[in-house]
Structure 1
């Protein structure tokens, strides 16, 4: 694939043959083979989430299934590492499996990927390291990653502790980085893609924009709830345990926020009965979004309907071309 306009051609589209300079960031429990294959065929760069498939045989099987469905389009694997290495962690094993399976791009996050860079580089794997602000992107650049993805405070999931907005990250990245970089957090339109490229980005990361995709493996009631939500319907919690998360506002976020206000030293063990991932997974299964930490960003305000990836790509491309036309005489 090639972009419809040369202005949309970037190091990201060149490297992976994309229709649009858009990464469909890894979504925990949701970015499976069906989702990723549909995103790939629509012209985006998708990532299976390794943490959703902790058994090596399951991850290997899902890679094979996605590769078959994607019909030759590019596919990556997201490896979300814990902030600190813990006994029994199998991160290196996951990377070795990725290499053995011939995956040519990974999206890493959570901590410094430096220990795994030689392994991945030796296999020709492109490393896109995802960070919450430019200062971490500078560190990633210094250890040899190929690209960085900077997700601002508006993003769903984990925006970090700095809470720097995407527009400020755009300006800082242009000044401080020399490797290709992507911007995420609050991105949901084709015009925003053009704005990011104008600021020097090689592309954008989208997550929330795809949460109502027809191919997303979640109950339609969950997707309908997100479409009905707006940019003011998210909440930031878990700052007390230095693991800030932006999620859909619901009963769980209200409870967690109250507990954190009442006891700023509460600790993760006391919060876990409310924030455990298995609670959120029920929302994906049943469509009941009243409970669970359901990652979603302020781009909810830009989510207008549930549709397939092919239609999403058409919309984003048309919006980008309209924005480019506004800039030209």
Structure 2
């Protein structure tokens, strides 16, 4: 095992107790105990996606299974809150369950976690809040989160409405934030980790890069499709309903994009038959990626083979060390 350079001693590695300042963000339907524990054993941290377990007792069971698989290594739970409170939402119950189970780390996203901060802080939980724009990071700091992840326009999933790139976010964040921050969106190579740290980040968040991990419980055909794709094979949709998504270009994204072009006032109801999560989930089970909104970002350009999670992380570390060597800073 290579010596860890001093540059990797950041708020991220110290807070989470990880080897590298890398966070594998929660992935809807995919970030389960197998995936999250593989990240933990590889020396980074990831988060079970609570939304993948609508039944609270199923979520409780998954947390316990993950804890057993991780041993003394860190893991957390991702709670993605839709932008507006809706009747029947179980967000508070989810946070209380997480606190009951003694989970130490939570990744939040979607809307401000302000209303739930008392629950989390009373339980001693570290809160990493993910935002699509620096202005939301400033707000998150004001409500008391411990860290923020700022994901740029290049990210898979939801880049927000501002569509500011990761390089600009990283360049500005140090001037506007006092709490530790991470940058994401298009991050898939070790040299980008060094660049982010040089700009003041405490770490990076990645999602797309890990879609080909052996431990990810998705069909091999799905993973091969990620390998076959490049940074040019994503498409933005759902901007018309203020819920922009970057995903793998396929029949669904082309259909939705046309509907949005032809009907500027279209609503989410008219799009649901195409963008339902159940359709996308089918791709993970069957390997047929022709339909569904399958979140993927520009980091597809770095995805080149299926391999164990630990091997991906090892490659990232080695790439980072090469980048340090270029600067004369190698360990």
The answer for the alignment partner of 1:168 in structure 2 is 168
What is the CA distance between 1:272 and its match in structure 2?
Answer: 0.4
* Alignment TM-score, normalising by the size of structure 2: 0.98
The answer for the alignment partner of 1:204 in structure 2 is 204
* Alignment TM-score, normalising by the size of structure 1: 0.98
The answer for the alignment partner of 1:10 in structure 2 is 10
What is the CA distance between 1:8 and its match in structure 2?
Answer: 1.1
The answer for the alignment partner of 1:66 in structure 2 is 66
Structure 1 segments (4+ residues) deviating >3 Å: none
The answer for the alignment partner of 2:51 in structure 1 is 51
**Mapped partners of 2:222, 2:257: distance in 1:** 22
The answer for the alignment partner of 1:284 in structure 2 is 284
Q: Is the 8 A contact 1:132 1:160 kept in 2?
A: yes
The answer for the alignment partner of 2:320 in structure 1 is 320
1:48-96: CA deviation from partner (whole Å, max 9, x where unpaired): 0000001111000000111111121101000000111111111010000
1:190–1:74 Cα change, 3 Å = same
Q: Is the 8 A contact 1:190 1:320 kept in 2?
A: yes
The answer for the alignment partner of 1:122 in structure 2 is 122
Gaps of 5+ in 1: none
What is the CA distance between 1:2 and its match in structure 2?
Answer: 10
The answer for the alignment partner of 2:231 in structure 1 is 231
1:172-213: CA deviation from partner (whole Å, max 9, x where unpaired): 101100000000000001110010000000000000000011
**Mapped partners of 1:76, 1:153: distance in 2:** 25
Q: Is the 8 A contact 1:2 1:19 kept in 2?
A: no
1:219–1:39 Cα change, 3 Å = same
Q: Is the 8 A contact 1:77 1:106 kept in 2?
A: yes
The answer for the alignment partner of 2:24 in structure 1 is 24
What is the CA distance between 1:9 and its match in structure 2?
Answer: 1.1
**Mapped partners of 1:44, 1:28: distance in 2:** 19
1:88-119: CA deviation from partner (whole Å, max 9, x where unpaired): 11101000000000001100011111111111
Gaps of 5+ in 2: none
Q: Which segment is superposed worse, 92-101 or 319-328?
A: 319-328
**Mapped partners of 1:14, 1:2: distance in 2:** 18
Residue 157 in structure 1 maps to residue 157 in structure 2: yes
**Mapped partners of 2:111, 2:46: distance in 1:** 21
1:132–1:255 Cα change, 3 Å = same
What is the CA distance between 1:3 and its match in structure 2?
Answer: 6.9
1:273-302: CA deviation from partner (whole Å, max 9, x where unpaired): 000001001100010100000000000001
Q: Within 5 A, what are the aligned runs for 1:83-122?
A: 83-122=83-122
What is the CA distance between 1:4 and its match in structure 2?
Answer: 1.4
The answer for the alignment partner of 1:257 in structure 2 is 257
What is the CA distance between 1:310 and its match in structure 2?
Answer: 1.0
1:216-259: CA deviation from partner (whole Å, max 9, x where unpaired): 11000000000110000000000010000000000000000000
Please give the root-mean-square deviation of Cα atoms over the aligned residues, in Å: 1.1
1:156–1:316 Cα change, 3 Å = same
**Mapped partners of 1:325, 1:268: distance in 2:** 50
SS in 2 for 1:130: strand
Q: Which segment is superposed worse, 3-12 or 64-73?
A: 3-12
The answer for the alignment partner of 1:82 in structure 2 is 82
